[in-house]
């Protein structure tokens, strides 16, 4: 084995702590680094921005029409992004040299990420969300039991959040938001998240709320205060079980930065 190959493998071990790697097969992959549980208030008290229109008027896209890229959050320092990218490259290289499968998802350390959508090299959408298992709380457990009839165990249910959603105006109405919800759910499912929460503000029209409800979300009034929208000033809090189709990574390819 050449010195170059040895150096690459050695570098991968040095950089491995920067990321948390999972695959859809728990038997094959374990967490390289366990992310810390984020404080529920600081992680999930965000206003969710999203705009939709009547999607029946335009041809709906599929995952084949979008290049998905999973990236660290925008506020990540430049040199930290460089280290993360180097770590990801080293891990890919090591696995290829060992002729082992590359995991479908490699999430940045820190509990948050941004999913970017590209079309012909142009960024057309971006979505912010959490990637770590947030702690449960009595209002969450009560809401899950009331809405879904599921009693939480002594450890409660783990929660993830969608922080923001944005699609460039000229690309709205193509179903990109729905595809993003599916991709985010896939990532959070791999990360062991049981339920996804968001706060949606539709300026009183009701259209955005209905869109999320049509996507499987249910309103959760008991969580308004907990998720930073006391009195509904930032919109309605909604929740949905985090689950996806078994072949999601066959139809939805996500490049990790």
pLDDT digits (tens, 9 = 90+) for 128-146: 999 998 877 889 989 999 9
Q: Give residue 255's pLDDT.
A: 93
Quote the pLDDT of residue 191.
Answer: 92
pLDDT at 2: 42
Res. 155 pLDDT band, cuts 50 70 90: low
What pLDDT, on a 0 to 100 scale, did the predictor assign at position 40? 38
Q: What are phi and psi of 17, to 5 degrees?
A: -70, -15
CA of residue 35 relative to chain centroid, distance? 14
Confidence of residue 240 (pLDDT cuts 50, 70, 90): very high
**Above pLDDT 90, what percent of the chain?**
58
pLDDT of residue 52 exceeding 60, the answer is no
Do 118 and 124 contact (CB within 8 A), yes or no? yes
> Which of 44-48, 96-100, 141-145 has the lowest average pLDDT?
44-48
Using CA atoms, how far residue 218 sits from 36, 53, 132, in Å, is 28, 20, 22
Average pLDDT of 148-168?
Answer: 85
Helix axes of 3-15 and 78-97: crossing angle, nearest 10 degrees: 130
Domains identified in the chain and CATH numbers: 37-74+110-256 (3.40.630.30)
> Is residue 90 a contact partner of residue 12, using CB atoms and an 8 Å limit?
yes
- Quick one: pLDDT band at residue 186, thresholds 50, 70, 90? very high
Q: Which two tokens stand for residue 236?
A: 């309605």
Asked whether the beta carbons of 231 and 81 are under 8 A apart, the reply is no
pLDDT at 11 over 80: no
**Residue 32: is its pLDDT beyond 60?**
no
Q: What is the DSSP string of 85-121?
A: HHHHHHHHHHHHHTT-PPPSEEEETTSEEEEEEEETT
pLDDT interval class at 229 (50, 70, 90): confident
As a whole number of angstroms, the distance between CA 145 and CA 251 comes to 32
Model-level pTM?
0.78
Model confidence at 29: pLDDT above 60? no
């Amino acid at each position: 084995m050449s010195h170059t190959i040895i150096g690459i493998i050695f570098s991968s071990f040095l950089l491995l702590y920067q990321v948390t790697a999972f695959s859809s097969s728990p038997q094959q992959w374990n967490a390289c680094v366990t992310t810390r549980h984020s404080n529920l208030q600081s992680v999930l008290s965000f206003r969710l921005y999203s705009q939709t229109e009547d999607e029946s008027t335009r041809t709906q896209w599929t995952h084949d029409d979008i290049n998905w890229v999973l990236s660290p959050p925008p506020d990540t320092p430049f040199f930290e992004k460089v280290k993360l990218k180097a770590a990801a490259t080293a891990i890919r290289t090591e696995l290829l040299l060992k002729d082992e499968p590359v995991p479908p998802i490699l999430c940045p350390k820190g509990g948050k990420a941004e999913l970017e959508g590209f079309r012909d090299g142009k960024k057309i959408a971006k979505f912010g969300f959490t990637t770590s298992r947030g702690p449960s709380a009595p209002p969450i457990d009560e809401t899950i039991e009331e809405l879904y009839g599921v009693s939480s165990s002594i450890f409660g249910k783990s929660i993830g959040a969608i922080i923001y959603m944005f699609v460039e105006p000229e690309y709205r109405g193509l179903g990109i938001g729905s595809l993003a919800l599916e991709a985010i759910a896939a990532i959070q499912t791999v990360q062991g998240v049981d339920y996804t929460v968001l706060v949606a503000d539709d300026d009183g029209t009701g259209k955005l709320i209905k869109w999320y409800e049509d996507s499987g979300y249910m309103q959760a009034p008991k969580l308004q205060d907990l998720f930073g929208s006391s009195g509904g000033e930032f919109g309605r809090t909604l929740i949905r079980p985090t689950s996806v189709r078994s072949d999601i990574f066959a139809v939805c390819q996500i490049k990790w930065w």
